[in-house]
């Protein structure tokens, strides 16, 4: 493709900036300049070592926010890539190649170009359009969207609807949108025993043997049945370790990392209490350190989901599926403002992989879907 569309030109320019998390490498400055040029009030929010910005255009009335991130995951081994990961080009098969093409610089380009076009066509649109962009989504996510949302909440900023540009599609652009996500609760369990010689087990307490029945019960527990929007809550052990590295020593401690992906049918406090009751039931000397990655959120059918679904139908001719599957996203922070949140982006088949790529034509469709959604929600 010798001549690139505005969306693909911008996507390539963003991809060529090697913004490996938490770096931004000027991506946000480029976006802010273009938004300011079409009437947005732009507010950089640099928090700790993270670049963020908030931009808003319009007056009173409903606010539609576009949210996303400029940071990308590391490339992995460069020799595994067919082409340089930050070269950014459209190949002979029509694929836009480069780290961030799918996750999520392609979406950022589509959002910005759609908004530029909408503002040119509807300069006196009702309500307001906003952007919330961070460079801390692929990392700890402490000083990015979460921190910006806290500032917006203190200012009583209104956010009615939000489209997050996460790559939600599975096979064809728009075939799936995310209208919620499960919560994520992490635990670090320590079970203490007594170290000793394997030949004298009566003088020791093996924490592996002691913990095994409790871990089996936790793995087999029915936590909830889910509901019409969420699958049942799941418990998974992600790491288990103990021992000194030798065969003749009974270890003194077992460490276990586990995670709950939980539905709205369960609460953080309820899950914690049930885990602790099972550990007590088995008479263990235990300690659990808990960390909450995010609460579950759900956007039920309404103005935003209806507008997005209708726009996908108009542009692609297909019906979209609303799903709460997958991992967490920054939508969990935005939803705390009472905002309807939907994730809509390109096909996610190659995200975080070497040779990340997305169909260039999909970004054109995505731009049009974003534009039509703006029309449905904010055109006079």
69 is in an annotated binding site: yes
Q: From the candidates 25, 51, 136, 137, give the one annotated as an active-site residue.
A: 137
Q: Which of 294, 311, 73, 72 is nearest to 177 (CA)?
A: 311
352 is in an annotated binding site: yes
336 phi, psi to nearest 5 deg: -65, -15
Residue with tokens 């066509």: 121
Helix 6-15 to helix 360-378 angle, to the nearest 10 degrees? 110
DSSP 233: P
143 is in an annotated binding site: no
222 is in an annotated binding site: no
Kindly give, in sequence order, each residue whose CB lies less than 8 Å from that of residue 316, ignoring residues fewer than 6 positions away.
172, 173, 174, 365, 369
Q: Is 160 among the residues known to form the active site? A: no
Kindly give, in sequence order, each residue whose CB lies less than 8 Å from that of residue 146, ignoring residues fewer than 6 positions away.
330, 333
325 phi, psi to nearest 5 deg: -75, 170
324: Cα separation from own chain's centroid: 12
Helices (H), 94-250: 105-121, 145-154, 207-220
Q: Which of 292, 330, 301, 163 is nearest to 229 (CA)?
A: 301
269 is in an annotated binding site: no
Q: Is 356 among the residues known to form the active site? A: no
Kindly give, in sequence order, each residue whose CB lies less than 8 Å from that of residue 319, ignoring residues fewer than 6 positions away.
309, 312, 313
Q: From the candidates 24, 25, 51, 71, give the one annotated as an active-site residue.
A: 71
Sequence length of the chain is: 380
Residues forming the annotated binding site? 69, 103, 138, 166, 352
Residues forming the annotated binding site for Zn(2+)? 69, 103, 138, 166, 352
Active site residue ranges: 71, 137
């Amino acid at each position: 493709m010798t001549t690139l569309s505005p969306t693909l030109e911008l996507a390539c320019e963003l991809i060529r900036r090697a913004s490996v998390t938490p770096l931004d490498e000027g991506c946000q400055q480029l976006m802010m300049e273009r938004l300011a040029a079409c009437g947005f009030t732009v507010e950089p929010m640099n928090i700790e070592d993270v670049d963020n910005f908030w931009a808003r255009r319009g007056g009173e009335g409903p606010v539609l926010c576009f949210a996303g991130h400029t940071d990308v995951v590391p490339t992995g081994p460069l020799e595994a890539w067919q082409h340089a990961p930050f070269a950014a080009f459209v190949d002979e098969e029509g694929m836009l190649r480069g780290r961030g093409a799918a996750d999520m610089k392609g979406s950022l380009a589509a959002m910005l170009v759609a908004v530029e076009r909408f503002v040119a066509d509807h300069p006196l649109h009702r309500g307001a359009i906003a952007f919330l962009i961070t460079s801390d989504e692929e990392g700890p996510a402490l000083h990015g969207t979460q921190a910006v949302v806290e500032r917006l909440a203190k200012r009583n900023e209104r956010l009615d609807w939000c489209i997050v540009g996460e790559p939600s599609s599975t096979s064809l652009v728009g075939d799936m949108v995310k209208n919620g996500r499960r919560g994520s609760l992490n635990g670090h369990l320590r079970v203490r025993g007594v170290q000793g010689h394997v030949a004298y087990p009566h003088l020791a307490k093996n924490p592996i043997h002691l913990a095994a029945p409790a871990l089996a019960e936790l793995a087999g527990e029915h936590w909830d049945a889910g509901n019409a929007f969420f699958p049942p809550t799941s418990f998974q052990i992600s790491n288990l370790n103990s021992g000194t590295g030798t065969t003749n020593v009974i270890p003194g401690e077992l460490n276990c990392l586990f995670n709950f992906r939980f539905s709205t049918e369960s609460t953080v406090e309820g899950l914690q209490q049930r885990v602790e009751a099972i550990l007590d039931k088995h008479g263990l000397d235990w300690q659990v350190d808990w960390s909450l990655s995010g609460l579950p959120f759900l956007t039920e059918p309404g103005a935003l989901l209806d507008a997005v679904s209708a726009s996908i139908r108009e542009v692609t001719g297909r019906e979209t599926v609303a799903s709460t599957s997958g991992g967490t996203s920054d939508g969990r922070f935005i939803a705390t403002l009472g905002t309807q949140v939907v994730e809509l982006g390109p096909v996610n088949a190659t995200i975080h992989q070497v040779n990340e790529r997305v169909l260039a034509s999909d970004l054109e469709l995505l731009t049009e879907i974003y534009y039509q959604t703006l029309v449905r929600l904010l055109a006079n």
